[in-house]
Amino acid sequence: MKRLLALLATCATILGLTALFSPPAMAATGCKVDFTVTSQWQGGFQAGVKVTNLGDSVNGWTLKIALPDAGQKLVQGWNATWSQSGSTVSAVGLDWNRTLATGAAADLGMVGSFTGANPKPTAFTLNGVACTGTVDGTTPPDPGGGGTTGTPVGVNGQLHVCGVNLCNQYNRPVQLRGMSTHGIQWFSKCYNGASLDALANNWKADLLRVAMYVQESGYETDPAGFTSRVNGLVDMAEARGMYAIIDFHTLTPGDPNFNLDRAKTFFASVAARNAGKKNVIYEIANEPNGVSWAAIKSYAEQVIPVIRANDPDAVVIVGTRGWSSLGVSDGSSESEIINSPVNATNIMYAFHFYAASHKDNYRAAVSRAASRLPLFVTEFGTVSATGGGSMDRASTTAWLDLLDQLKIGYANWTYSDANESSAAFRPGTCDGSDYSSSGVLTESGTLIKSRISTSDNFPTS
């Protein structure tokens, strides 16, 4: 660290960057920036930028990054408002991450282009204060940060569908257990370094489902902004060795074809951007409803090729009729899918349930379908289908026992502090920084955490 500081200081002097080290705007000073090049290619690179506030709490911050030369350009950045002036790149905190308590961190990321041999920055400041930190794609992660060795992605690598199962890099079936975000347009404050550290290390989750609503103030209102938010969450999951399901959260209207053009645009972008990653799974339509299986199949057969053209090897999950009930909620059944499957490989079908509403006849359908179709429970609740009401412990337990037995992966609705009984955290939790003590959990959160945090025993040969 001393060497790095000396290096940063020297570079700053040589490059005339003393302006970056102007008088502190925070009372007690201190910050740390971990700049990790996650991939590099001819003339370009992508980096995760973790900014930790070691000083007093700040309400608003500007990170400045000194690049080695002005020929290096910011191409794209996320989780902040990014700009560039000469060889200095600035990132300004957004509404949902502008407050950083002492010790709190914001996870940002950027894509850059460069002409020289070295894409790495030479200095950082936060609100004018010089930061310590690391600048290295190979720097060991912070203690407790996890790294990726021994994590779900570290062990299982790129997933694929084999028969009716999801298989890991050793071609062995795995069950992934994790949590779904709430709508990221409403609950972005719940998804930050501390909450994702808790999900990975304390909950020992394998998976984060990123629920990007399309309507209801979601994607359709700001396609570029939501695309970048999703990418930021993919990176945060990746940094912690978790898989990320990118959920195109269609709900109302229920016909996914209403959003076909948006889906093509969105998936072309996220698939191209995340093609090199091993942790991404695409879920192309959350809950088709009021629409035939034929219409859903037609949608899938138009969206999947767009994904494949950009990211050929990723698993894709297709929503099913009747709010992803395999048709059961519409009086149909899994046989319409078995008789007319989506014409694509490496895909799975979504099944959703809410334990207080969906019981034996739904479990029977899943039991039957599981030997014929690759299934993934990309969303379920312990409560009623409204997302509220009482938790049904007996039904939830029956469901999760069944999914464990069948090795069907699942994500619980929701990893949020929404004021509804399906939320895992008590209201107000996301205004603080404690996501791991038992006191912040709801009844549902307590039950689900106890199920998810048990050992995975992923097969490795």
Which positions are catalytic?
Answer: 287, 379
Contact 341, 316 (CB under 8 A): no
Q: Say which residue the tokens 């007319």 belong to.
A: 340
Contact 128, 21 (CB under 8 A): yes
**What SS3 class is residue 49?**
strand
Q: Which two tokens stand for residue 4?
A: 């790095």
**Which stretch, 62-70, 169-177, 231-239, 415-423, contacts ligand IDC (CB under 6 A)?**
415-423
Contact 269, 309 (CB under 8 A): no
Contact 37, 47 (CB under 8 A): yes
User: What's the closest the beta carbon of residue 269 comes to ligand IDC, in angstroms?
Assistant: 23
417-446 positions binding ligand IDC, by CB under 6 A: 418, 420, 422
45, 243, 354, 435: which one binds ligand IDC (CB under 6 A)? 354
Order of all β-strands in the sheet with 73-78: 73-78, 105-113, 44-53, 31-41, 132-135
φ, ψ of residue 178 in degrees (nearest 5): -165, -160
- Which string of x and - marks every residue 208-227 that binds ligand IDC (by CB under 6 A)? --------x-----------
Closer Cβ to ligand IDC, 129 or 448, answer by number: 448
Angstrom distances, CA of residue 439 to CA of 138, 173, 187, 198, 256: 36, 35, 20, 14, 39
Q: Decide if residue 323 touches ligand IDC (CB under 6 A).
A: yes
Q: Decide if residue 287 touches ligand IDC (CB under 6 A).
A: yes
Q: Decide if residue 286 touches ligand IDC (CB under 6 A).
A: yes
Q: Decide if residue 255 touches ligand IDC (CB under 6 A).
A: no
**Which stretch, 52-60, 105-113, 127-135, 412-420, contacts ligand IDC (CB under 6 A)?**
412-420
User: What's the closest the beta carbon of residue 383 comes to ligand IDC, in angstroms?
Assistant: 8
251, 285, 328, 350: which one binds ligand IDC (CB under 6 A)? 251
**What SS3 class is residue 215?**
coil
In whole angstroms, give the CA distance from residue 293 to residue 264: 19
Q: Decide if residue 376 touches ligand IDC (CB under 6 A).
A: no
User: What's the closest the beta carbon of residue 335 comes to ligand IDC, in angstroms?
Assistant: 23
Angstrom distances, CA of residue 208 to CA of 17, 25, 174, 288: 40, 36, 16, 21
Angstrom distances, CA of residue 446 to CA of 21, 34, 266, 421, 440: 46, 33, 35, 12, 9
202, 345, 386, 390: which one binds ligand IDC (CB under 6 A)? 386
In whole angstroms, give the CA distance from residue 331 to residue 346: 28
User: What's the closest the beta carbon of residue 352 comes to ligand IDC, in angstroms?
Assistant: 6
385, 411, 430, 441: which one binds ligand IDC (CB under 6 A)? 385
User: What's the closest the beta carbon of residue 388 comes to ligand IDC, in angstroms?
Assistant: 8
Size of site (CB under 6 A) for ligand IDC: 15
User: What's the closest the beta carbon of residue 74 comes to ligand IDC, in angstroms?
Assistant: 35
Closer Cβ to ligand IDC, 152 or 218, answer by number: 218
Q: Using CB under 6 A, list all residues that contact ligand IDC.
A: 216, 251, 286-287, 323, 352, 354, 379, 385-387, 413, 418, 420, 422
